[in-house]
Structure 1
Amino acid sequence: MICRIWHGRTPRERADEYAAFLKERAIPDYRSVPGNIDVAILRRDEGDVAHFLTVTHWISEQAIRAFAGDDLLKAKYYPEDAGFLLEFEPQVQHFDVVAEQASC
């Protein structure tokens, strides 16, 4: 299993609106791709900025390609992101999941 992590920053005053956008637009997009296991969106406010992490789990690199294209580490953005984000980080991070324990 592969964990894919994206980071973005918004002005804090737009963070609630961006969180709602991610819930309505990004989560369904991720979940529509065969091989996506799950999606979590994390937020941390720091002064006038809100940090967002999108953490997804995938069964394979092939599944990630179906979502993000052939450049596996290239960040995928939506047109609406331009109205929220302070910058566009070019890459995401991938980690191999070596241990996990799910709770019921």
Structure 2
Amino acid sequence: MIARVWHGWTTAQKADAYEALLRTEVFPGIRARQIAGFERIELFRRLSETADEVEFMTVMWFTTLDAVKSFAGEDYEAAYVPAAARSLLTRFDHRSRHYEVRERQSA
């Protein structure tokens, strides 16, 4: 299993709009592509220490690195940030990080 991790930041005023865009357009668009080996996407949100910025983190789960490449292309570390999302973000990771999941345990 491969975890693809990405971060983006926006203002507190734009945070709800950005989250709504992810939920209603970006995530459904990813699911609609029906990428073999794509398992799920998770969204995390937190208020930064400056209290004027909100950080978002997405973690996408893929069965293999080849599945990641099916989603992102050969330059698979390049971030996938649609134009509508870019317009709401103040900054974001231009490269995603990928981690091989070595252990998963449930309660």
- Regarding TM over 0.5, the answer is yes
Contact 1:42 1:53 in 2 (8 A): yes
Amino acid across the alignment from 1:100: R
Unaligned runs of 5+ in 1: none
Range with greater deviation from structure 2 (77-86 or 5-14)? 77-86
Using the TM superposition, give the Cα deviation of residue 50 of structure 1 relative to its aligned residue in structure 2, in angstroms. Answer: 0.5
1:24 Cα deviation (Å)?
1.3
Give, in whole Å, the separation in 1 of the partners of 2:38 and 2:45: 21
> Is the 1:2–1:96 contact (alpha carbons within 8 Å) kept by the matching residues of 2?
yes
> Mapping of 1:72-91 within 5 angstroms?
72-91=76-95
Q: In the alignment, residue 4 of structure 2 is paired with which amino acid? A: R
Q: TM-score, normalised by structure 2?
A: 0.88
What CA distance in whole angstroms lies between the structure 2 residues aligned with 1:12 and 1:35? 34
Show structure 2 runs of 5+ residues with no match: none
Q: Which residue number in structure 2 is paired with residue 28 of structure 1?
A: 28
RMSD: 1.4
Aligned residues: 103
Inter-partner Cα distance in structure 1 for 2:83 and 2:60: 20
State percent identity of aligned pairs: 31
Which SS does the other structure have where 2:9 is aligned? strand
Q: Secondary structure at the match of 1:67?
A: helix
Q: Which amino acid aligns with 1:18?
A: Y
Instruction: Check the 8 A contact 2:72/2:78 in 1, yes or no.
Output: yes
User: 2 CA distance for matches of 1:62 and 1:36?
Assistant: 10
The answer on whether the counterparts of 2:45 and 2:54 sit within 8 Å (CA) in structure 1 is yes
TM-superposed CA distance for 1:88, in Å, is: 3.7
Kept in 2: contact 1:30–1:39 (CA 8 A)? no
Change (3 A) 1:48 1:27: same
Q: Any runs of at least 4 consecutive aligned residues in structure 1 with deviations exceeding 3 A, and if so which? A: none
Partner residue in 2 for 1:69: 73
Check the 8 A contact 1:30/1:36 in 2, yes or no.
no
